[in-house]
Amino acid sequence: MKGFLILLAVAFPAVLTIPAFWSLVRMEWSSERVGYVDQSGTTQWATIGPKSEWPDWAPVPPGAKLKVSSNFEAAPGHDPGGFGEIAGKTAPRLVAEGYARTLRAGGWNVRVGRLDASYPDIPPRPLHRCFVHGQKGARVVQMSVDIDEPQTVGRLHWAEGKLGLPMGVTDRPCWAA
């Protein structure tokens, strides 16, 4: 135990001097600007963290709270986009239905889909995820929630360009029990 405390006393101050440590701290509690380079050499800049920007035009589902995760800027061959985590005490089926209604009322073209699959657990357990996809011109929003959960937990994506439903999603309502 004494050796561990000595190691901790030496290592902790050293860790505080490493820029990557502070970058991770900012990604968790603030925001950090980073560049991702693809195989062609193009850099797409992003802001990662809960204080990243969320576009005014991308509505948040009623009954859910958004924690922004990222905001990717446009780059040659890459559309701007971003996503965040949504959570709320309301049942996910009600949030999905309310989000589809909100988008339609705002003039969005809405598709609702459902994915029925299995989690990769042993033993496998069923996965039933609802997708609400809205498009208005080149702007797209897409919410996904696990409809078997008692409270809303999911993701909300936005893009100015292409953002399709994942493979395996069938076009059908997912809020009917």
Name the pLDDT band for 72 (thresholds 50, 70, 90): very high
For the chain, the straight-line distance linking the first and the last C-alpha, in angstroms and rounded, comes to 55
Predicted TM-score (pTM) of the model is 0.84
Q: What is the pLDDT of residue 155?
A: 96
Q: What is the mean pLDDT of residues 133-159?
A: 95
Name the pLDDT band for 60 (thresholds 50, 70, 90): very high
pLDDT at 8 over 60: no
Q: What is the mean pLDDT of residues 20-46?
A: 82
> How many angstroms from the chain centroid is the CA of residue 45?
17
Rounded CA separation 51/75 (Å) = 21
Rounded CA separation 42/150 (Å) = 43
Residue 13 tokens, joined: 């101050």
